[in-house]
Structure 1
Amino acid sequence: MAYETIKYEVAEQILTITLNRPDKLNAFNAAMQQELIAAFDAADKNDDVRAIIVTGAGRGFCAGADLSSGANTFDRDARRGPVKRLAGGGVDYSDPQVRDGGGQVTLRIFKCLKPVIAAVNGPAVGIGVTMQLAMDIRIASEAARFGFVFSQRGIVPEAASSWFLPRIVGISQALEWCYTGRVFPAQEALAGRLVSKVVPPDDLLPTARALAKEIAAKTAPVSVALIRQMMWRMMGADDPMEAHKVDSRGIYARGRSDDVKEGVVSFLEKRPAQFKNKVSSDMPDYFPWWQERDYQ
């Protein structure tokens, strides 16, 4: 697929997705939404992709929604035409045209079967920061800035961030940032546990790639895919028994696999493991264990 708003580059089993509208600080638009979803679709199908890094071109990560439509930027009816109406004249909120575009991106990232690392090189506000919340690890440059600016624009948080953000940083920190809408530096993001580390600008991509290479070189792809979904989906479980059920299925199914035999034998023989199972074809029969939610 030819991309216009992002770059899609695979090297050393690492996919780097670069938001690529540097003249607009990589502002998010409908084309970027569609291309990001397509990029994650492609990554999940490609067994040569073991980890994903998302970063921005130029001096920004993503400045948020493209505001070139002015006052109508967030008015769906004005930009796309009226959504469906109910018999009584009220809005039919089940109309897919009502759906938040940023949320469609984060929901796709949430379903991803590969580890996702955000390498935040500069300003990240609005969707520029909320899209990162579905990514697994966020590393920031000292030049990065963050802002959940929705209250200052008269709207509300999007991209399913009301689910993700409190789970990552806690409810009090999430509310402080969203109530005030202020833009804050990388060190505050680190103190608030939004990012895992802050590094000099020149060290950002090397740091992210070193982590991605460690994952790609030493781990079993199917195990990593399962771990990612286990961890994220158990954040919404109502009892540890749900985790025990999924753990037990995983231990049973993977325990009989060639990967596990190779993992044990290679450890005993003190040599690197050569894992053969593929995400595209060798996920266990109990996967997925959840029922997908529909937009209604």
Structure 2
Amino acid sequence: MRHAPGPQERCRTVTFQTITTTTDAGVMTVTLNRPDRLNAFTRRMMEELMTALDHADADDAVRAVIVTGAGRGFCAGVDLDDDDAFTAARVDPKATDPAIWADPANRDMGGMLTLRLFNCLKPVIAAVNGPAVGIGATMQLAMDFRLASDTARFGFVFARRGIVPEAASAWFLPRLVGMAQAMEWCMTGRVFPATEALSGGLVRSVHAPDDLLPAARALAQEIATNTAPVSVALTRQMLWRMAGADHPMQAHRIDSRGIAARSSSADAAEGVASFLEKRPADFPDRVSADMPGFFPWWTEPAWEEEPA
């Protein structure tokens, strides 16, 4: 029998200053909550989003995360009235001391968020309910799935503002949509509709506005209901990190360690038993306690050695 939801799994809502989080049935929904400003991005929003991701990673009851926007927009880019958003711009760009650029006060806010998303142990789904430009577009690139309303608009508008793409999008965007498409969107800086985002490979699917969140929740629930949390956390990191590997041998090494560790796990035994008994699986392992000993493998000095 599958376990009944405990108190930690029941619906609960947390309100920050710029976002809200609601957790229900294994899915945390994070809502950017500055609708009067089209959810324009601030340093506080960055900090609160990163805190919400910390909570999601630490909470075994959270199996997936959805990020969406309140009101008619997803995120209209950086709030130009937020003085704290531009602290890095006050640093001498010619500075060569690595400590200056390692200081979080001087780093690009979008990149700090996307790197936190990159390290997330739970799958993250963007439900893009309206305009998403600048950081509103680039923050999504480190999420695992992007679903869009047919009212959504996207724009990598940086060249039209005299700046450059941020949020590590020069790494993420070509991997998602290919170099030619990434170049076109970034070089022109134009705002484009959800249909173009779909044909260009940026979004998974386009939905009527009222169908967007139900579709995102259905995808999140498919993960939450049918898969082993530790397997999902490992798979997420394997896919993202191997996207930048120099040789398939690096992936083979991690595959081999992952298969060896997980084949002897309680989850693997339950996966086989539930299949043979034709019943839903109730995976016992938890991300908080049962990640394999080699995780995180990328911190090992030898993991990027020359492949055999």
Q: Structure 1 length normalisation: TM-score?
A: 0.92
The answer to whether the aligner puts 1:184 opposite 2:192 as a matched pair is: yes
Structure 2: gaps (5+ residues):
1-13, 302-308
Q: Is 2:56 aligned against 1:43?
A: yes
In 2: Cα distance, 1:103 partner to 1:217 partner: 32
1:104-158 per-residue CA deviation (whole Å, 9 max, x = no partner) reads 0000000000011000000000000100000000000000000000001111100
2:226 equivalent to 1:218: yes
Partner of 2:181: 173
What SS does the corresponding residue of 1:280 show, helix, strand or coil? helix
Q: Offset of 1:67 from its aligned partner?
A: 1.3
Q: 1:116 to 1:144 in 2, by over 3 A?
A: same
Task: Report the equivalent of 1:9.
Answer: 22
Deviations 1:275-296 (A, max 9, x none): 0100001000011110299xxx
Distance 1:239 1:76, change over 3 A: closer
Counterpart in 2 of 1:255?
A: 263
Q: Distance in 1 between matches of 2:120 and 2:85?
A: 29
Q: Against the structure 1 CA distance between its residues 171 and 281, is the aligned structure 2 distance closer, same or farther, given a 3 Å change threshold? A: same
Asked if the contact 1:83–1:98 (Cα under 8 Å) also holds between the matched residues in 2, the reply is no
Q: 1:245 to 1:84 in 2, by over 3 A?
A: same
Partner of 1:136: 144
Code of the residue aligned with 2:27 in structure 1: it is I
Gaps of 5+ in 1: none
Q: Which residue of 1 aligns with 2:111?
A: 103
Contact 1:10 / 1:16 at 8 angstroms: preserved in 2? yes
Match of 2:33 in 1: 20
Higher-RCO chain (CA-CA 8 Å, sequence separation at least 6): 1
Rounded to whole Å, the distance in 2 between the matches of 1:150 and 1:26 is 18
| Count of residues in correspondence between the two structures | 288
2:88 is matched with 76
1:118 maps to which of 106, 112, 126: 126
Equivalent position of 1:58 in the other structure: 71
Question: Does the C-alpha gap of structure 1 residues 257 and 6 become closer, same or farther in structure 2, counting only changes over 3 Å?
Answer: same
Change (3 A) 1:84 1:119: closer
Q: CA shift at 1:4, angstroms?
A: 0.5
Query: Paired residue for 2:281?
Result: 273
Tell me if structure 1 keeps the 8 A contact 2:124–2:144.
yes
Asked whether the 8 Å contact 2:67–2:126 carries over to 1, the reply is yes
Once the two structures are aligned, what percentage of the paired residues are identical? 64
- Tell me, yes or no, if the aligned pair for 1:26 and 1:63 is still in contact at 8 Å: yes
**Secondary structure in 2 matching 1:103:** helix
The one-letter code of the counterpart of 1:220 is: A
Residue 241 of structure 1: aligned partner: 249
Question: Once superposed, which parts of structure 1, at least 4 consecutive aligned residues long, lie more than 3 Å away?
Answer: 72-78, 82-86, 91-96
In 2, Cα distance between the equivalents of 1:169 and 1:118? 16
1:110–1:134 contact (8 Å) kept in structure 2: yes
The 1-side partners of 2:78 and 2:166 are apart by: 11
